[in-house]
Structure 1
Amino acid sequence: MSVKETKKIATRESYGNALAELGEKYPELVVLDADLAAATKTGIFKKAFPERHIDCGIAECNMIGIAAGLATTGKIPFASSFAMFAAGRAFEQVRNAVGYPKLNVKIGATHAGISVGEDGATHQCNEDIALMRTIPGMVVINPADDIEAKQAVEAAIKHQGPVYLRFGRLAVPVINDNPDYKFELGKGVVLKEGKDITLVATGLCVSETLEAAKLLAKDGIDAKVINIHTIKPLDEDLIVEAAKETGKVVTIEEHSIIGGLGSAVCDTLSAKAPTQVLKIGIEDTYGESGPAVELIKKYGLDSESIYNKVKAFLEK
């Protein structure tokens, strides 16, 4: 089945649906939002459990403080906003009010990356993974599709401690639609075996990378494809093993090439298995306003661009 025929769902929808579905199972679950419930999709939870949804208004820093307070009473708060505000504007509160005391707060950050589209550079957060990775003890999750996103929300509930979950605005193909799929915190998923090169992708880029691997196969290049949904803690064993098997690694992310998945992979490999790595992501630049699909293509994150970059890397 090609990507074009595949069912597509935005992971922010998955987030809202998962919260609503899990509300009954976890009575201590409470959801906070910063006047964006329609966009972050926490409105779905609000409809089901109005008494457990708190709209904090356009005051993200205060929302994180409230979430921290709720966590001290035994609640499991999910503080929700756009990635730019949840990770960017409220960074100091996330670091000092949640990370430092190791509180059980979950941050549901939607509208991450350039696929926010028309909202433009101010809202296209390509720095959030880098910011959240630096907070001691913070778990960082970037799911690739609807199934993974829903399971990630429950995994975050079960995990004791702070978790940052990254969701997108754009509908993306459902690729984990099989009964065997099981989300495991800190475990990468091998989507395709291969011996010539390893492609390590996260989030929205996973489906595009799978398509790029098909294009490479037509040229006789056998690419291994790994989906890394948990960027911290990283599945270092899987990455080291793949690097040793194939000798070259490419990372693909809808995030700055500074401080994100690429940097995490390079940190691991330089220490444990020095390997040549190509980082595909947003170069040292801001995004711009435009249709999401066109921006993905312009910034080189579509399957064809990935294919061309990988080929050039192999031919070096």
Structure 2
Amino acid sequence: MTIPSFSRRKSKYTPRTLPDSQTGERVATSAMIASLDSEGREAISAPFGHALVDLAKTRDGIVGMSADLSKYTDLHVFAEAHPDRFYQMGMAEALLMSAAAGLAREGFVPFVTTYAVFASRRAYDFIAMAIAEENLPVKICCALPGLSTGYGPSHQATEDLAIMRGMPNLTVLDPCDAVEIDQATRVIADTPGPVYMRLLRGKVPNVLGEYGYRFELGKAKMIHDGTDVLFISSGFMTMRTLDAAKALAAEGVSCAVLHSPTIKPLDAETICAEASRGGRLVVTAENHSITGGLGEAVAGALMRAQVHVPFRQIALPDEFLDAGALPTLHDQYGITVDRITAQVKSWLDM
């Protein structure tokens, strides 16, 4: 590394600062603030790990596997409950996926965890050749999706959905909250073939519980209806669009929120039916690059169905993102409630 490039890299990873709410002075913040701004909602601890433990009580074939990241993907909960069914493969993602394929061939249902960047970038070919081509029931559940860490491009999986959508036989999920992670984990255990599921870890907000939501594989569901704007969202961006809908309602804008946790196979029928109804502005919102994710999947579905509506995307830019504190980065890249609200108002010429 040259001296100039080292200087640029050092500056790039300097901790960001935020204004202190009491003094107004800017203070340094951690790159790993583990908050998705849940707005005071109830949070549930390790929903994935606890759901897997519960499943394993009656499913002898379920095993857990990780690449030295069980603590950071909530798989440690399973490892503590079922140590004889947990495999720590070390920092070797290719080996992890190949071993999972071998266990699946012997009749097991492996739940494999790592970070989303490592599964989508580092282990892609092994997933494709060892798991997806053989249509094996390996469930790949990955933490730190999109912009859910401030550690920069090495850990920010901003293009994972685009990568994984292109793989044949692979189901791709982006659940919203603790409720959906719990439900989806149980559903995919019985789903034939491989699954890639984005994973929120630690204390995960309970967003959908108040709506009586039930996850169904391959189904988009209307969480809140409205007449002016139709948000189509996935992941924690459904939490953000629900909050943006409340903020916009206070200004006389009625917003619907259609949650689409299954990115592949996309529920094109529901999406096209809702987009066709009422002449609403259609806005996709995702914690992913504007390239190749939910937005472009929805746009393709609308185009093929010849549904012609005003269409906009809220997503991360097609670039390597900065490092820093999550609140700073989310505001910088336009995925906070305030930024979403302002963007929609500008599109409506308010």
Q: Give TM-score, length-normalised by structure 2.
A: 0.86
Whole-angstrom distance in 1 between the partners of 2:161 and 2:308: 23
Q: Which residue of structure 2 aligns with residue 70 of structure 1?
A: 103
Whole-angstrom distance in 2 between the partners of 1:311 and 1:161: 43
Q: Which residue of structure 2 aligns with residue 277 of structure 1?
A: 311
Q: Which residue of structure 2 aligns with residue 4 of structure 1?
A: 39
Q: Which residue of structure 1 aligns with residue 163 of structure 2?
A: 131
Give how far 1:246 is off. Answer: 3.7
Q: Which residue of structure 2 aligns with residue 157 of structure 1?
A: 189
Tell me, yes or no, if structure 1 residue 268 matches structure 2 residue 301.
Answer: yes
Q: Which residue of structure 2 aligns with residue 239 of structure 1?
A: 271
Whole-angstrom distance in 2 between the partners of 1:242 and 1:311: 21
Tell me, yes or no, if structure 1 residue 92 matches structure 2 residue 125.
Answer: yes
Whole-angstrom distance in 2 between the partners of 1:140 and 1:91: 14
Contact 1:250-1:277 at 8 Å conserved across structures: yes
- Counterpart of 1:221 (choices 225, 247, 253) is 253
One-letter amino acid of the structure 2 residue matched with residue 32 of structure 1: M
Tell me, yes or no, if structure 1 residue 176 matches structure 2 residue 208.
Answer: yes
Q: Which residue of structure 1 aligns with residue 232 of structure 2?
A: 200
Whole-angstrom distance in 1 between the partners of 2:110 and 2:157: 23
Whole-angstrom distance in 2 between the partners of 1:175 and 1:207: 6
Whole-angstrom distance in 2 between the partners of 1:306 and 1:161: 36
Q: What SS does the aligned partner of 1:240 have?
A: helix
- Counterpart of 1:47 (choices 80, 96, 105) is 80
Tell me, yes or no, if structure 1 residue 56 matches structure 2 residue 71.
Answer: no
Q: What SS does the aligned partner of 1:186 have?
A: coil
The structure whose Rg is larger is 2
Contact 2:147-2:158 at 8 Å conserved across structures: yes
Give how far 1:25 is off. Answer: 2.1
Whole-angstrom distance in 1 between the partners of 2:332 and 2:78: 36
Structure 2 residue ranges without an equivalent (≥5): 1-36
Contact 2:74-2:202 at 8 Å conserved across structures: no
Q: What SS does the aligned partner of 2:130 have?
A: helix
Q: Which has the higher helix share?
A: 1
Contact 2:211-2:223 at 8 Å conserved across structures: no
Whole-angstrom distance in 2 between the partners of 1:290 and 1:27: 42
Q: Deviations over 1:113-142 (max 9, x none)?
A: 11212x222100101111111011211111
Structure 1 residue ranges without an equivalent (≥5): none
Whole-angstrom distance in 2 between the partners of 1:125 and 1:5: 26
Tell me, yes or no, if structure 1 residue 253 matches structure 2 residue 286.
Answer: yes
Whole-angstrom distance in 2 between the partners of 1:165 and 1:47: 22
Whole-angstrom distance in 2 between the partners of 1:79 and 1:157: 12
Matches within 5 A, 1:280-295: 280-295=314-329
Whole-angstrom distance in 2 between the partners of 1:181 and 1:121: 34
Q: Give TM-score, length-normalised by structure 1.
A: 0.95
The number of residues matched between the two structures is 312
Give how far 1:185 is off. Answer: 0.2
One-letter amino acid of the structure 1 residue matched with residue 77 of structure 2: I
